[in-house]
């Protein structure tokens, strides 16, 4: 019997089937031959929330959740955080290799010269209430760019695709900054091409009346590291949305808007904002234990804890914790850090969390750091979406160029009524639904 196969005996029919095992998986379609008779559709797999289903092959990001390993195109996240810049990492994710000096210079030039937004974006932004959540503005404005670049629909034209990718990576900081400035009622700040990607983002956020914005170097570097850490994370919820929506061959602006919408959820990228609310609710170190008790009783979740893949410490959380200390040397220590450290200490010792392998994830410390940098909690998920746009676009491009991929259309297990007779309204009785 060939070694890379699985032999399945269907006890309903006593028939035996042999299916190939490839990359630790069997193809779900190989199960369709398993039938109880000619009328039988054949076996499917049932996997709510895709806990154990690979939806694609990818060479972009590798995660070993048990060992706490994260690599972009084979490079450990710790090495990239220490030696690279976000734009260099975005190039790596998209093209598969670290750029040469010449390639990086051209890449930075291209992105830098696509940070401007069409002036109509201002009118669009003005339509939002001042209190509008920045993620709502971010998602809507990215979707609106679909109307500015109708040629983006030509998703199979590689040059056109790359042009849109460069536009999106260049413009997401501008949209994010405009959302913030709209929230606080400040005039928008135009990009400054003399500045790096991250320094320019800070410029568009925080420049006031000074002639030239000067970014605080430690803050700029810390933010760039945060962008590197958040750039991609294989098939997470928002990337799955990007791939699924993109599989209909819609344009990348609408696909990124759908991915950012998924990221906004409190169980995903919205968790960093929820962590700050949680730490505010706890209020002080001595109240941490009571809060942990409520989590153990199942009444609440510890935001920033747990992960579908990491059953060990999220390697990004370690780097963020280190980077936060660098920021606090400039900004002063965020008092919420003491509550977070106490929460982590208790949770890492407590059987409830140890048994469930719940460790701090990327969102646990990032919010404390963002707040110390001067960001409001409402901006935290936008700060996640900016770098993740490069990851979403890398995954989108890989999906489009994968000959095995086609429009995503899962099946279901139908549990509803069998065929029923229509009941005229006068004969219907109220049913409690």
Active site residues: 268, 307, 363
Is position 268 an interface residue for ligand SDX (rule: CB under 6 A)?
Answer: yes
Which stretch in 106-114, 144-152, 301-309, 329-337 sits in contact with ligand SDX by CB under 6 A? 301-309
Among 305, 359, 370, 396, binds ligand SDX (CB under 6 A): 305
**Distance of closest approach, residue 311 Cβ to ligand SDX, in angstroms:** 9
Among 307, 366, 382, 386, binds ligand SDX (CB under 6 A): 307
One character per residue 271-290, x = contact with ligand SDX (rule: CB under 6 A): x-------------------
Question: Given the complex with ligand SDX, which of 107 and 365 has the nearer CB atom?
Answer: 365
One character per residue 154-193, x = contact with ligand SDX (rule: CB under 6 A): ----------------------------------------
Which stretch in 29-37, 83-91, 180-188, 264-272 sits in contact with ligand SDX by CB under 6 A? 264-272
**Distance of closest approach, residue 356 Cβ to ligand SDX, in angstroms:** 4
Q: What are the residues whose beta carbons fall under 8 Å from the beta carbon of 428, sequence distance 6 or more?
A: none
Among 141, 236, 331, 389, binds ligand SDX (CB under 6 A): 236
Torsion of CA 388, 390, 396, 397, to 10 degrees: -170
Please identify the residue of the shown chain whose CB is closest to the bound ligand SDX.
306
Q: Which of 73, 52, 47, 79 is nearest to 391 (CA)?
A: 73
Is position 262 an interface residue for ligand SDX (rule: CB under 6 A)?
Answer: no
Residue 291 to residue 301: CA distance in whole angstroms: 10
User: Could you please report the per-residue DSSP string of 347-400?
Assistant: HHH-HHHHHTT--B-HHHHHHHHHHHHT--GGGHHHHHHHHHHHHHHHHHHHHH
Q: Would you say 417 and 312 are in contact if contact means Cβ atoms under 8 Å apart?
A: no
Strand duo 61-64 + 69-72: pairing? antiparallel
Which stretch in 21-29, 329-337, 357-365, 400-408 sits in contact with ligand SDX by CB under 6 A? 357-365
Residue 76 to residue 86: CA distance in whole angstroms: 14
Q: What are the residues whose beta carbons fall under 8 Å from the beta carbon of 287, sequence distance 6 or more?
A: none
Residue 129 to residue 124: CA distance in whole angstroms: 11
Residues that bind ligand SDX (CB under 6 A): 233, 236, 267-269, 271, 295, 301-309, 356, 358, 361-363
């Amino acid at each position: 019997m060939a070694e890379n196969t699985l032999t399945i005996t269907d006890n309903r029919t006593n028939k035996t089937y042999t299916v190939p095992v490839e990359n630790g998986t069997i193809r779900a379609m190989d199960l369709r031959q398993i039938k109880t008779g000619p009328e039988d559709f054949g076996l499917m797999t049932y996997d709510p929330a895709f806990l154990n289903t690979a939806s694609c092959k990818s060479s972009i990001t590798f995660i070993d959740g048990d060992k706490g390993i994260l690599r972009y195109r084979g490079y450990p996240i710790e090495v990239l955080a220490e030696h690279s810049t976000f734009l260099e990492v975005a190039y790596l994710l998209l093209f598969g290799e670290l750029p040469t000096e010449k390639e990086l210079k051209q890449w930075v030039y291209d992105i830098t010269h696509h940070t401007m937004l069409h002036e109509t974006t201002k009118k669009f932004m003005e339509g939002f209430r001042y209190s509008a959540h920045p993620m709502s503005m971010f998602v809507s404005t990215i979707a609106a760019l679909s109307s500015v670049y109708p040629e983006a629909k030509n998703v199979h034209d590689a040059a056109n695709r790359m042009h849109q990718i460069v536009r999106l990576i260049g413009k997401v900081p501008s949209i994010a900054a405009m959302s913030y400035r709209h929230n606080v009622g400040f005039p928008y700040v135009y990009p400054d091409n003399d500045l790096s990607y991250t320094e320019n983002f800070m410029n568009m956020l925080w420049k006031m009346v000074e002639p030239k914005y000067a970014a605080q170097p430690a803050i700029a570097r810390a933010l760039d590291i945060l962008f590197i850490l958040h750039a991609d994370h294989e098939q997470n919820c928002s990337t799955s949305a990007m791939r699924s929506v993109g599989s209909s061959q819609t344009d990348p602006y609408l696909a990124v808007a759908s991915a950012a919408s998924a990221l906004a959820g409190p169980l995903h990228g919205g968790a960093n904002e929820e962590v700050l609310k949680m730490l505010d609710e706890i209020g002080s170190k001595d109240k941490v234990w009571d809060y942990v008790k409520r989590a153990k009783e199942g009444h609440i979740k510890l935001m920033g804890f747990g992960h579908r893949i990491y059953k060990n410490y999220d390697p990004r959380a370690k780097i963020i914790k280190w980077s936060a200390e660098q920021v606090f040397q400039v900004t002063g220590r965020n008092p919420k850090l003491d509550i977070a450290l106490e929460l982590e200490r208790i949770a890492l010792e407590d059987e409830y969390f140890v048994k469930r392998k719940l460790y701090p994830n990327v969102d646990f410390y990032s919010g404390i750091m963002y707040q110390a940098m001067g960001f409001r909690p409402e901006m935290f998920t936008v700060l996640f979406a900016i770098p993740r746009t490069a990851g979403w676009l890398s995954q989108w491009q890989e999906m489009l160029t994968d000959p095995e991929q086609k429009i995503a259309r899962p099946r279901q297990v139908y549990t509803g009524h069998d065929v029923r007779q229509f009941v005229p309204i006068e004969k219907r009785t109220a049913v409690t639904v």
